[in-house]
Amino acid sequence: MYGSIFHLHPKPGQKAAIRQLFEQWDRERAPRVQGFHAGYLFQPDRSSDELIGVAIFADRELPQERY
């Protein structure tokens, strides 16, 4: 297993658009990405202007090749 964790700082009013983009990616692209297991988008309790994304793959090489 390999995971990638990333922080996003969206412009005001753009969080919903980012969530929609992640949902669209899960529906349309994730099924075609070899080794992709799951993706998550979190909003920390203590930070209203930040999102944290997590992508989980079968191994480290796969996201570098196809993601």
- In Å, how far from its chain's centre is CA 40? 5
> What pTM value is reported for the model?
0.79
Chain segment 7-60, per-residue pLDDT in tens: 999 999 999 999 999 999 999 999 988 889 999 999 999 988 899 999 999 988
Q: Does the pLDDT at position 62 exceed 90?
A: no
Number of structural domains in the chain? 1
How many helices (H) and strands (E) in the chain?
2, 3
CATH number, residue 6? 3.30.70.100
At residue 65's C-alpha, the angle toward residues 25 and 40, to 5°, is: 35
- Partners of 53 in beta bridges: 6, 41
Q: What is the pLDDT of residue 67?
A: 45
Give me the domain span that covers residue 42. Answer: 2-66
